[in-house]
Structure 1
Amino acid sequence: MAYSIQNKLINDTLKAVKELYAADVPEAQITLQETRKEFEGHITIVVFPFTRFSKKSPEQTGSEIGEWLRNNVQEISYFNVIKGFLNISLSDHYWIDVVNTALLKPDFGIYPANGKRLMVEYSSPNTNKPLHLGHIRNNLLGFSVAEILKTYGYDVIKANLVNDRGIHICKSMLAWQKFGHGETPTSSGLKGDHLVGKYYVIFDKEYKKEIEALVSDGATEEEAKKRAPLIKEAQLMLQKWEAADTEVINLWKTMNGWVYDGFEKTYKQLGVDFDKFYYESNTYLLGKDIIQDGLDRGVFFRKEDNSVWIDLTDEGLDQKLVLRGDGTSVYITQDLGTAQLKYDDFGMDESIYVVGNEQDYHFKVLFLILKKLGKAWAEGLFHLSYGMVDLPSGKMKSREGTVVDADDLMEEMLATAKARTEELGKTEGLTEEEKAELYNTIGMGALKYFLLKVDPKKRLLFDPAESVDFQGHTGPFIQYTHARIKSVLKKADFDMSNAIGQPATLSTFEQELVQALSNYPAVIEASAKEFSPAQLANYAYDIAKLYNKFYHEETILKAEDVDVKNFRLHLSAVAARVISESMRMLGITVPERM
């Protein structure tokens, strides 16, 4: 929708209906939308609600309102009516004014601080294995949402709750003790997270062997899983960890240290960061005081086995265990405590949990319990639920043969970007160092854009080869468009401080580009309010498409009229800035040349 015309058109439509039909219409009945591309016009007014006042057909009503608006609103140059839709065309003067008064302002698309603090919690890895493809979507969503919200004026805290304790961690530790022979990241050449993940897989293989042996001796599978020596040793190790056994704690610190070094490399390559780390080893005992407070106030109830529950059947859910009979925590116990800890630390107005959709029910329960406990800040909690990522069958295999790990995927993306870029001959004149940087920029841009352009709630199929298409709905296409604009500006020796030209008329392609660029602040707002990078990603693609159409249809550098040339150069500079900033919020770098 055009940057400054919406409110004016709403008010003028209200005046038109009042004057033409002597009717006072509620503002809520005025519906504006961008005119569909197959029709002529910029903004469409839905006229069906006014026919009960006009007592005429939608077409005649639309024509009468359109005529009134054209005679009374100087920004309108033309209108047409298709059934009950009044399509308004805005004048060249109006669009030129939008460029001068909005697009060229230094603060265009920059929102002032809104005084609100918000936390985005994402990544949440386990320290028994490397990050995988699902973590990539999680990290990219969390980082991008945080950057969009920052741009929208929030004070944002990026948080990472690391799952660094529990039986799964002990499995890796025990397998390393038994089968590792002192292997380290240095001695093996493996990243620390991959080394620890290797021993988690070894544990699983050896554990299955023990189960099979017990079953062959007559045990049921369920009995075998409980009786297998390895699982008993792992459980004993967990007990020792909880009792702060020095040897176990030291091994835990050493192996987690290896993992954190590995994670840091992956996060750096992925381009994500965090302001605050929380560790489950510090939070797993939290929440018990909250449970006791809830018991005292009748929010929870105790069963005969001494376990503590909450009854959510009135809300369409079920009864939920919040503390075991022996007094030990369940997962939601510590989540209640961690939520309180985070609020005590930062006092956020809102908090977003970026977690896969398999946890939808858990977060419904968590948020509902916090509200029942009277936590006013619970109203600001939101679960950003996202779907799984699939790869075309046979495209990639992980080191462990089960899930695709993040490092493998990023490595393949760089190789694909290199092959495609060299194939298209886009590396001429670049040094080897510049080539490596370009391959990284394109490969990571392709990966991030492909994952972020899809609505987070949807499951998606990621095809590495398709994502590096320079002509498709991809990151590289947008990156290439930005490089093209920068090349035009460089050839013109363009300076943004130069006076902008004032052409007498604008082409359809110029109007379309100005209208789309003027939507930039509204797209940021919508993306921020809906926690959806997909809106911004698709908008950046639309701008790139429109600019390429404008570039191919209009002369820029060789325009004979100086005003026309200067106007088009300024318009190009705005397009480059909007693309660059949009992609920055997605965590994507755009190159100056390709």
Structure 2
Amino acid sequence: MAEEDGRLRKEVDRVLAGLERGDRKLSALARRVAERCVRENLKTASKLGIYYDILVWESDLVREGIVDEALEMLRPHLYTGTGEKEGATLLRLSPLGLEDKILVRSDGTTVYTARDIAYQLWKFGKTKRDLRFKLHSARPDGKKTYTSSPDGKIRISRRNVEKVINVVGAEQRYPQQVVSSALKLLGYEREYRNSYHLAYEHVRLPEARFSGRKGTWVGFSVDEVLEEAYERAYRVVKEHAPSEDERFWRRTAKLVAIGAVRYTLLATSSEKGIVFKWEEALNLRKNSGPAIQYSHARACSILRKARGVRKSVRRADLLNSKEEERLIKLLAKFPTVTKTVGETLQVHLLASYASELAQAFNVFYEACPVLGAKPNELREARLALVDCARIVLRNSLNLMGIPAPERM
């Protein structure tokens, strides 16, 4: 809207200038509006089991002088623009093979990238000035979220920060390159190498595109998508467990809905766009969060019926069918997969692995009797294998932030 309305654009510029000058009345109003938006965003995130440890406000980076300190540190690499960039302050990046970047507009206001550089330096503990924090909220699990604040009394230590991962949209590739390159210009080579931009593309429904600024799938807010996921999951759960009661259906539907949405967002490489399809997201048979949850619940059910696994000598040599061997080999890959994901930040590899493991477990279950296996040594060996699958499925789900229900 601001881009299309010149008068509105001028008003936005006036407000930004006032905020940078520290206009108290304007800053207080902007903070109240922003905090209200953040509260609503946090409510939505909490529905997916997403929580923050700290919240950092750009206005506090400016107020505490951290942005000014960052610009002062970069002074040897700054110059004043000419022509169309007359009066603006630019960061010289041509020695690093990048286009020079405006950090301060001609009216004296800083651009987002300037504040991002200051924030990155703060994260790595490279600024003398610091932020103060206070309690923002307590989560259901008892953990706390803190927020930067002018009247805060708490300091957050960044002494041992080794790696900074910025989860930002793919359209911000160049600004993020500027942020990390600024560290290199300042001689922070290790911090430059350990600055990662985890770029992601956006999500859309087949019939609509996603709008990042509006937080909507044009016509669908994120909350509405979650509500739709819950309603669809409720119908699926009720159909598959008709003998359970209403409380079970609702509780399980909530867990399945979270699994459906989170898995869909994680299963695709972050640099590829995601088309969210309900029929795939809620498929209990394969390639979905609910399918992995269902396999985990199935393993739990088998163990309940067997009343656990006996701690006796287990004849692993009896597990020699192709289905058993494939499942064992997949289970053995879990440490390598998690290590690779941690090193490459390719979270979709974990999602793919968990889906493959769930399918392998289902094939094993269909081909190899467990509770009725004979002799007893084979039964115990297969129960042990079921327990191993349960543990790895649960751990995989936990790493993806997806609930691991024991009954579905």
Normalised by the length of structure 1, the TM-score is: 0.57
Residues 468-520 of structure 1: CA deviation (Å, up to 9, x unaligned): 01123111111111111111111111136454345546211111111111111
1:523–1:535 contact (8 Å) kept in structure 2: yes
1:416 aligned to 228, 232, 240, which one? 232
User: In the alignment, what sits opposite 2:346?
Assistant: 532
Residues 293-349 of structure 1: CA deviation (Å, up to 9, x unaligned): 3334xx333346553323333443222223334543222221121111111241311
2:244 aligned to 429, 435, 455, which one? 429
Residues 90-146 of structure 1: CA deviation (Å, up to 9, x unaligned): xxxxxxxxxxxxxxxxxxxxxxxxxxxxxxxxxxxxxxxxxxxxxxxxxxxxxxxxx
1:557 aligned to 364, 371, 385, which one? 371
Amino acid at match of 1:472: K
Query: What is the alpha-carbon distance in structure 2 between the residues aligned to residue 252 and residue 427 of structure 1?
Result: 51
1:340 aligns with 2:121: yes
Query: What is the alpha-carbon distance in structure 2 between the residues aligned to residue 437 and residue 562 of structure 1?
Result: 37
C-alpha RMSD of the superposition = 2.7
1:266–1:406 contact (8 Å) kept in structure 2: yes
Label 1:300 to 1:249 Cα distance change in 2 as closer, same or farther (>3 A): closer
User: In the alignment, what sits opposite 1:490?
Assistant: 304
Label 1:373 to 1:472 Cα distance change in 2 as closer, same or farther (>3 A): same
Query: What is the alpha-carbon distance in structure 2 between the residues aligned to residue 308 and residue 566 of structure 1?
Result: 72
1:331 aligned to 106, 112, 115, which one? 112
User: In the alignment, what sits opposite 1:576?
Assistant: 390
1:286–1:333 contact (8 Å) kept in structure 2: no
Query: What is the alpha-carbon distance in structure 2 between the residues aligned to residue 260 and residue 399 of structure 1?
Result: 12
Amino acid at match of 2:375: D
2:218 aligned to 393, 402, 406, which one? 402
1:503–1:563 contact (8 Å) kept in structure 2: no
**Greater relative contact order (Cα < 8 A, sep 6+):** 1
User: How many residue pairs were aligned?
Assistant: 368
User: In the alignment, what sits opposite 1:282?
Assistant: 60
1:484–1:593 contact (8 Å) kept in structure 2: yes
Query: What is the alpha-carbon distance in structure 2 between the residues aligned to residue 328 and residue 399 of structure 1?
Result: 27
Query: What is the alpha-carbon distance in structure 1 between the residues aligned to residue 105 and residue 382 of structure 2?
Result: 69
1:520 aligned to 331, 334, 356, which one? 334
Amino acid at match of 1:553: A
Amino acid at match of 1:292: E
1:478–1:544 contact (8 Å) kept in structure 2: yes
DSSP 3-state at the match of 1:476: helix
Label 1:414 to 1:507 Cα distance change in 2 as closer, same or farther (>3 A): same
Query: What is the alpha-carbon distance in structure 1 between the residues aligned to residue 71 and residue 209 of structure 2?
Result: 48
Q: Give 1:389 shift.
A: 1.5
1:363 aligns with 2:143: no
2:97 aligned to 303, 316, 321, which one? 316
Query: What is the alpha-carbon distance in structure 2 between the residues aligned to residue 303 and residue 584 of structure 1?
Result: 51
2:50 aligned to 248, 268, 272, which one? 272
Query: What is the alpha-carbon distance in structure 2 between the residues aligned to residue 426 and residue 367 of structure 1?
Result: 52
Label 1:242 to 1:295 Cα distance change in 2 as closer, same or farther (>3 A): closer
Label 1:396 to 1:443 Cα distance change in 2 as closer, same or farther (>3 A): farther
DSSP 3-state at the match of 1:287: helix
1:288–1:333 contact (8 Å) kept in structure 2: no
User: In the alignment, what sits opposite 2:286?
Assistant: 472
1:511 aligned to 325, 342, 352, which one? 325
DSSP 3-state at the match of 1:346: coil
Amino acid at match of 1:536: L
User: In the alignment, what sits opposite 1:160?
Assistant: none
2:233–2:257 contact (8 Å) kept in structure 1: yes
Query: What is the alpha-carbon distance in structure 2 between the residues aligned to residue 369 and residue 395 of structure 1?
Result: 34
Label 1:550 to 1:402 Cα distance change in 2 as closer, same or farther (>3 A): closer
Bigger mean CA deviation after superposition, 363-372 or 326-335? 326-335
Amino acid at match of 1:350: K
Residues 543-582 of structure 1: CA deviation (Å, up to 9, x unaligned): 1111111111111111121111000000000001100100
Query: What is the alpha-carbon distance in structure 2 between the residues aligned to residue 321 and residue 246 of structure 1?
Result: 27
User: In the alignment, what sits opposite 2:167?
Assistant: 354
1:288–1:329 contact (8 Å) kept in structure 2: no
Q: Give 1:370 shift.
A: 1.4
DSSP 3-state at the match of 2:240: coil
Query: What is the alpha-carbon distance in structure 2 between the residues aligned to residue 400 and residue 509 of structure 1?
Result: 44
Query: What is the alpha-carbon distance in structure 1 between the residues aligned to residue 24 and residue 102 of structure 2?
Result: 33
Query: What is the alpha-carbon distance in structure 2 between the residues aligned to residue 405 and residue 279 of structure 1?
Result: 24
DSSP 3-state at the match of 1:544: helix
Query: What is the alpha-carbon distance in structure 1 between the residues aligned to residue 13 and residue 310 of structure 2?
Result: 66
Query: What is the alpha-carbon distance in structure 1 between the residues aligned to residue 172 and residue 209 of structure 2?
Result: 28
2:319–2:382 contact (8 Å) kept in structure 1: no
Structure-to-structure mapping, 1:45-124, within 5 angstroms: none
Label 1:252 to 1:498 Cα distance change in 2 as closer, same or farther (>3 A): farther
Label 1:511 to 1:472 Cα distance change in 2 as closer, same or farther (>3 A): closer
Amino acid at match of 2:44: T
DSSP 3-state at the match of 1:593: coil
User: In the alignment, what sits opposite 1:21?
Assistant: none
Amino acid at match of 2:172: Q
2:42–2:51 contact (8 Å) kept in structure 1: no
2:215–2:222 contact (8 Å) kept in structure 1: no
Label 1:527 to 1:251 Cα distance change in 2 as closer, same or farther (>3 A): same
1:389–1:461 contact (8 Å) kept in structure 2: yes
DSSP 3-state at the match of 1:584: helix
Amino acid at match of 1:309: L
1:501–1:565 contact (8 Å) kept in structure 2: no
Structure-to-structure mapping, 1:444-483, within 5 angstroms: 444-483=258-297
Query: What is the alpha-carbon distance in structure 2 between the residues aligned to residue 447 and residue 436 of structure 1?
Result: 17
- Unaligned 5+ residue runs, structure 2? 126-156
Percent identity, please: 27
User: In the alignment, what sits opposite 1:193?
Assistant: none
Amino acid at match of 1:359: Q
Query: What is the alpha-carbon distance in structure 2 between the residues aligned to residue 335 and residue 393 of structure 1?
Result: 35
Label 1:231 to 1:311 Cα distance change in 2 as closer, same or farther (>3 A): closer
Report which of the two structures shows the higher radius of gyration computed on alpha carbons: 1
Structure-to-structure mapping, 1:13-52, within 5 angstroms: none
Query: What is the alpha-carbon distance in structure 1 between the residues aligned to residue 264 and residue 329 of structure 2?
Result: 26
